[in-house]
């Protein structure tokens, strides 16, 4: 099976993460030249079987492990990270700085008013399921 370009680039980006460091899914996607494809990165890892791939260095952007607490992958990832000297506490990697909102970082502007919009319940249902599982 020949891996397509995108796949290889993503894998390369993951392998490029230095030992003892971590990166978010979206970050990896960006480094692979695929901004906005964080979910694609996640999908790849979900089907990954290569043991030498440092998948454990990939976390959610907020520094939390993407697996539900207590799950197999959760423990596995925590252990692997700690083995590299990364401090992990309650599924969260320390040393990360969530920082302020982008608005403040970039524009330093106060919260602009936001026109209320309808509630697409299709998206809402998805969000609920997404969170549960």
- Residue 18 vs 46, nearer CB to DNA: 46
In angstroms, give the least distance from the CB of 105 to DNA: 9
**Residue pair 41/25 in contact by the 8 Å Cβ criterion:** yes
In angstroms, give the least distance from the CB of 40 to DNA: 5
Q: How many residues does the chain have?
A: 133
Instruction: Give start and end residues of each alpha helix (H) in the chain.
Output: 5-15, 25-31, 38-46, 72-83, 102-106, 121-132
Residues at the contact surface with DNA, assessed by CB under 7 A: 24-27, 34, 36-43, 45-46, 48, 55-56, 58, 60-62, 66-67, 73, 77, 98, 101-103, 111, 114, 117, 119-131, 133
The secondary structure of residue 64, as a DSSP letter, is B
In angstroms, give the least distance from the CB of 83 to DNA: 15
Which residues are CB-contacts of 65 (< 8 A; sequence separation ≥ 6)? 59, 73, 74, 77, 78, 88, 91, 92, 93
- Residue 18 vs 71, nearer CB to DNA: 71
In angstroms, give the least distance from the CB of 123 to DNA: 5
């Amino acid at each position: 099976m020949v891996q397509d370009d995108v796949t290889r680039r993503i894998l390369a980006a993951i392998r490029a993460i230095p030992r003892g460091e971590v990166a978010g899914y979206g970050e990896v996607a960006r480094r692979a030249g695929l901004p906005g494809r964080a979910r694609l990165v996640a999908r790849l890892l979900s089907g990954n079987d290569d043991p030498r791939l440092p998948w454990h260095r990939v976390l959610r952007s907020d520094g939390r492990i993407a697996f539900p607490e207590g799950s197999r992958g959760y423990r596995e990832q925590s252990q692997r990270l700690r083995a590299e000297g990364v401090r992990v506490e309650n599924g969260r990697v320390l040393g990360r700085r969530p920082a302020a909102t982008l608005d403040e970082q970039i524009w330093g502007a106060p919260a602009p008013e936001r026109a209320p919009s309808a509630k697409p319940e299709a998206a809402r249902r998805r969000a609920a399921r997404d969170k549960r599982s």
